[in-house]
Amino acid sequence: MPVRPRFVLLLSSVFSAAWPLVAQQAPPPAGPPAIHLNVAVTEKSGAPVPGLTAQDFTLLDNNVGTPIAAFRAATPALEPVQVVIALDAVNTRFTEVAYEQGQLQKFLKSNEGKLAYPTNLAVITDTSVQNEQSFTTDGNALSASLDHYSAGLRILHRDSGIYGADERLDLSLKAVRQLTSYVAGLPPGRKILIWLSPGWPLLSGPRIQLDSKQQQQIFANIVSFSTQLRAANVTLYSINPLGAEEGVFRANYYQEFVKGIKSPGKVDLGDLALPVLALQSGGLALQGSTDIAGMLRRCFDDLQSWYEVSFLPPPADTPEDYHHVELKLDKPGLSVRTRDGYYTQPVSSLLR
């Protein structure tokens, strides 16, 4: 069945609103710069594993062995870390937002309110994205500031049906663009964006048909998000607060879209899902629990130590050529997680 006319109109509005923001980015520098990867190595418990060397890793670029040009074992003492925690009230019912807020404040007040890394809060509503002016390790102060957003959060009624899936997708992609740009503009260092949300509507399936223009626009957004996050050293983490309340099929549907997209003809709106963007950036997509404070601790624990790997990409044959990246570690029982790929010559003439 073809897509409904109303959806076509609203889908066009989603990308007509978000599209100019992509086009405003400055063109990338000439020549293929080195690709930089943040690499997490963890035990089955999730605990980071320090003490590895470059010789422990094998790097593959499109399944071709590639020399590691630079390697460093990193810690917050060597590489500054900044964290932004985003509370999504656009895709979450009011009762769930209230629970998220309580869990977030529980996390901020733990350890006597002393946070491991400088942190900033952002609140996403259907009218704006609001965030603190500065970063702090004072969790008690951040918890108190969160109370100031409560009035705005109380006017949202996601379960009322006033806002359809297409409007929420529009608001969500604008918020991704705004927060990604904000985090990318922070001083050099390791940057973490933790998004508390069940995710925006995927609007994907046999009843949803995209024309070639829409596919080109979606693909350009995918390339733009991927490239900006990588270039700015940003890792995205998603935390789904619904826990067992959400059906397994719905919670895991995003997994169909995790694989990197090579061309506009292969895209779907599900390729822009929040957990997909998180996993592709080298972060985590946490779900299945209502212990939001515990999942936040899991994200923070991920930053105790990591590895920085750089390599020189091969010459690009075509613009927006997707390269799948894989790091292998010959040590049983350990997991390796990093960005899954990159695009050559990003943001092409499609945006001019």
- At 18-55, the pLDDT tens digits run 444 444 455 544 557 899 999 999 998 889 999 999 99
In a domain, 1, yes or no: no
In a domain, 17, yes or no: no
Per-residue three-class SS string for the chain: CCCCHHHHHHHHHHHHHHHHHHHCCCCCCCCCCCEEEEEEEECCCCCECCCCCHHHEEEEECCEECCCCEEEEECCCCCCEEEEEEEECCCCCHHHHHHHHHHHHHHHHHHHHEEEEEEEEEEECCCCEEECCCCEEEHHHHHHHHHCCHHHHHCCCHHHCCCCHHHHHHHHHHHHHHHHHHHHCCCCCEEEEEEECCCCCCCCCCCCCCCHHHHHHHHHHHHHHHHHHHHCCEEEEEECCCHHHCCHHHHHHHHHHCCCCCCHHHCCHHHHCHHHHHHHCCCCEECCCCCHHHHHHHHHHCCCCEEEEEECCCCCCCCCCEEEEEEEECCCCCEEECCCEEECCCCCHHHC
| End position of a domain, from candidates 303, 319, 339 | 303
103 and 54: one domain?
Answer: no
216 and 324: one domain?
Answer: no
92 and 176: one domain?
Answer: yes
Token pair listed for 313: 């990409």
- At 316-350, the pLDDT tens digits run 878 789 999 999 998 889 999 999 999 987 544 33
148 and 185: one domain?
Answer: yes
Range of the domain at 145: 78-303
Domain with residue 115: its CATH number is: 3.40.50.410
In a domain, 21, yes or no: no
In a domain, 2, yes or no: no
| End position of a domain, from candidates 269, 287, 303 | 303
In a domain, 130, yes or no: yes
> Where does the pLDDT of residue 152 fall: very low under 50, low under 70, confident under 90, or very high at 90 and above?
low
Cβ atoms of 209 and 3 within 8 Å: the answer is yes
264 and 345: one domain?
Answer: no
209 and 339: one domain?
Answer: no
188 and 265: one domain?
Answer: yes
296 and 351: one domain?
Answer: no
In a domain, 26, yes or no: no
In a domain, 274, yes or no: yes
- At 96-151, the pLDDT tens digits run 888 899 999 999 999 999 999 999 999 998 888 988 879 999 999 999 998 877 54
| End position of a domain, from candidates 268, 287, 303 | 303
272 and 348: one domain?
Answer: no
Rounded to an integer, what distance in angstroms lies between the CA atom of residue 78 and that of residue 60?
A: 27
Q: What is the pLDDT of residue 33?
A: 86
Rounded to an integer, what distance in angstroms lies between the CA atom of residue 138 and that of residue 153?
A: 23
pTM of the entire predicted model: 0.86
266 and 144: one domain?
Answer: yes
How many domains is the chain partitioned into structurally?
Answer: 2
198 and 61: one domain?
Answer: no
313 and 228: one domain?
Answer: no
Instruction: Collect all residues with Cβ–Cβ distance below 8 Å to 53 and sequence separation of at least 6.
Output: 71
In a domain, 40, yes or no: yes
Q: What is the pLDDT of residue 207?
A: 61
Instruction: Collect all residues with Cβ–Cβ distance below 8 Å to 95 and sequence separation of at least 6.
Output: none
